């Protein structure tokens, strides 16, 4: 089946309407991601993550789309005694988390009001190849480690996260698309590994992934960060048949190999024009 790539902001209502016309399903991955950015610009985060998400939901409704899957975040649950559960009373501690919680609520509302089989997947901390543009901790630290720069830990490093490989998250999305509509409509699923990793442990694993010692420095804690975070993944396993399969060690090794190639290609592209002009 042929594929068409449409490059447009989701704020462009005409482009969005054209993109969803005739679609069976919409997977909404676009977002203003990251807690620090949301602290610096909460209104901008609201516009992208809430207003534009509602616009996309409504475009899907008007086009008769049958399925809508929203990529949400554990930041929506906020500061809870882990593991995070779909039944926890949300307590977001950042504008980013609040914006993702609002998106989840709108998916539930569109399912109940309009019959759109919309659901939300609460992604844990995602990492993987093709993420040079990301500001997340794994992306930032792999770049730093491969470029010989120190890894900066905010706080004591004993805060924990649930790191999930991008390939496993793709599996969660496919599972949400393939499940019967009555299983997913208006539902929320934790999409993580169920394994809790300290930031200090992550730094050590990054060092092993790049095959060398890395310098580690500590800085002040950041506003909006939760202390502990890990997902309970039983609901996704039971209803969607989804479980993450890639270990942190294997996922970081694969990601590091991709980063090595991508950074080398970037460096080559940066010097090639100068070499060409010097030969003329």
Residues taking part in catalysis: 96
47 φ, ψ to 5°?
-60, -45
Spatial distance between the Cα atoms of 84 and 184, rounded to a whole number of angstroms: 19
Tell me, what DSSP letter sits at residue 184?
H
CB 153 within 8 A of CB 219: yes
The residue among 244, 246, 152, 263 whose CA lies nearest residue 206 is 152
Report the SS3 class of residue 186.
coil
The residue among 65, 72, 66, 70 whose CA lies nearest residue 19 is 65
């Amino acid at each position: 089946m042929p594929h068409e790539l449409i490059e447009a902001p989701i704020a462009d209502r005409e482009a969005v309407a054209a993109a969803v016309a005739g679609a069976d399903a919409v997977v909404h991955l676009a977002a203003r991601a990251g807690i620090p950015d949301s602290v610096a610009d909460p209104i901008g985060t609201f516009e992208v993550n809430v207003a534009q998400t509602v616009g996309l939901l409504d475009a899907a409704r008007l086009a008769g789309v049958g399925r809508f899957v929203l990529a949400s975040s554990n930041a929506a649950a906020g500061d809870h005694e882990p593991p995070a559960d779909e039944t926890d009373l949300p307590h977001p501690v950042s504008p980013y988390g609040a914006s993702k919680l609002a998106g989840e609520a709108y998916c539930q509302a569109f399912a109940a009001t309009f019959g759109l089989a919309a659901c939300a997947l609460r992604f844990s901390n995602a990492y993987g190849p093709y993420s040079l543009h990301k500001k997340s901790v794994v992306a930032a630290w792999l770049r730093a480690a491969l470029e010989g720069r120190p890894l900066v830990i905010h706080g004591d490093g004993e805060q924990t996260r649930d790191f999930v490989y991008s390939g496993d998250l793709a599996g969660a999305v496919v599972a949400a698309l393939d499940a019967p509509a009555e299983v997913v409509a208006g539902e929320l699923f934790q999409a993580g590994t169920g394994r809790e990793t300290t930031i200090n442990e992550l730094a050590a694993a990054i060092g092993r992934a790049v095959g060398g010692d890395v310098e580690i420095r500590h800085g002040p804690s950041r506003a909006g960060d939760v202390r502990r975070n890990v997902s309970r993944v039983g609901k996704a396993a039971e209803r969607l048949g989804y479980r993450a399969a890639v270990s942190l060690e294997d996922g970081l090794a694969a990601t590091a190999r991709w980063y090595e190639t991508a950074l080398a290609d970037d460096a080559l592209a940066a010097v090639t024009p100068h070499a060409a002009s010097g030969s003329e």
